[in-house]
Amino acid sequence: MTDDIISYSSEKKGIVTSNSTSYDLSSDIVSLRPTSFKEYVGQKDAVETLKIAIQAAKMRNEPLEHILLHGPPGLGKTTISHIIAYEMEKELTITSGPTLEKGGDLIGILTNLGEGDILFIDEIHRIPKVVEEFLYPAMEDYAVDFIFDKGIHARSHRYRLKQFVLIGATTRVGLLSSPLRDRFGIFRTLDFYSKEQLVVIILRSAVLLNTLISNDGALELAERSRGTPRIANRLLKRVRDYSQVKLDGKVTKASVRAALELEGIDSLGLTSLDRNYLKTIVTFYKGGPVGIEAISATLQEETDTLVDVVEPFLLKIGFVLRTSSGRKTSETAHRHLKLNP
């Protein structure tokens, strides 16, 4: 590739709104989201399955089946839920598993959903068990049961819901209970993106951010983005700031390298936490095998952070191996870190 500046055009469209205030829905992130499957890049099999399901539901004039999306953070689970709502022309309500602390929290949301509306629950595996029980009749029979009074005066009342669509997203599908998992009609796993797909995403985001980027710069950024669009968009903003302040505003291969060196991100996209994780196994535990709890205690990091954020990409590129007796580092990881166990 040359270092010529690429021109790339994209049409900005409206987006389904929601009441969520998470980082994913901040103004910058929302502005970079594709709003239809025509704009969506990657996840070919999952997108094709969803497009067929949406078209069939429209032909029958019925709501979609409940959908479960699984994959590491930042691969587009929330974005897909926005696109489904856009394609189905329905309202989207967004919440997350940890925020649904009581059954009343979920019931309040369910009773306000209209016919065919979509409820997106992020990190659905973290829903408390007592709240999960309310989801079973809601997903199957579109009804919730209320219990009034206690003891011999207890009475049950069933409240009918309108037919809604539940989209669940999880990074750890194994933590979902079987009764909940089996109630989803469509189950798709999202995988990491290729460098070529990330280049397309970066070029589109650069246009929306009014940033000039060279094709070499986009490729360099894609190689350091860990196969994750969210990381690619975040790093693009950091590189844009660096290029604007230090250079003439054009993002090139050299400016990407210089900016990401300041961020502590190496040529493969590994952060200081990733490198510390690998070095802990190599230096403290002689390359493994070692349990995740021991690594967590040594690094003083939460186990969930290591399992959900750090390990998926390291497993993908073969730097870490999971065995029955614990984690091990590979020879490729040792060569990259220039360490011997």
Q: For residue range 205-236, what is the model confidence (pLDDT) as tens digits?
A: 988 888 888 889 899 999 989 889 999 999 99
pTM to 2 decimal places: 0.79
- Which tokens go with 54? 């949406």
68-107, pLDDT tens digit by residue? 999 888 898 999 999 999 988 888 999 888 888 887 888 8
Give the pLDDT band of residue 341 (cuts 50, 70, 90): low
Q: Quick one: what percent of the chain has pLDDT higher than 70? A: 89
Domain 195-262 class, CATH top level: mainly alpha
Contact (Cβ atoms closer than 8 angstroms) between residue 87 and residue 60: no
- For the chain, give the number of residues: 341
Question: What average pLDDT does this structure show over 185-210?
Answer: 90
- DSSP state for residue 148 in the 8-state scheme: E
Candidates 95, 171, 211, 228; catalytic one: 171
Active site residue 13: no
Candidates 93, 117, 122, 170; catalytic one: 122
Give the pLDDT band of residue 10 (cuts 50, 70, 90): very low
Rounded Cα distance, 144 and 253, in Å: 56
269-312, pLDDT tens digit by residue? 888 888 989 989 888 888 878 898 988 898 888 888 888 888 88
Do the domains spanning 23-189 and 195-262 agree at the CATH topology level? no
Owner of token pair 């054009």: 250
Give the pLDDT band of residue 176 (cuts 50, 70, 90): confident
Rounded Cα distance, 286 and 160, in Å: 59
Q: List Cβ neighbours of 68 (8 Å cut-off, separation of 6 or more).
A: 124, 167, 168, 169, 170, 173, 176, 181, 184, 186, 187, 188
Q: Domain 273-337 carries which CATH code?
A: 1.10.10.10
What per-residue string of b and e applies to 233-265 under the rule 16 or more CB within 10 Å gives b? bbbbebbbebbeeeeeeebbbebbbebbeeeeb
Owner of token pair 């968009």: 233
Contact (Cβ atoms closer than 8 angstroms) between residue 253 and residue 214: yes
Instruction: Give me the CATH topology for the region 23-189.
Output: Rossmann fold (3.40.50)
Candidates 33, 35, 77, 188; catalytic one: 77
Active site residue 230: yes
Q: Where are the domains of the chain?
A: 23-189, 195-262, 273-337
What's the order of all strands across the beta sheet hosting 186-189?
A: 92-96, 118-122, 165-170, 67-70, 186-189
Active site residue 280: no
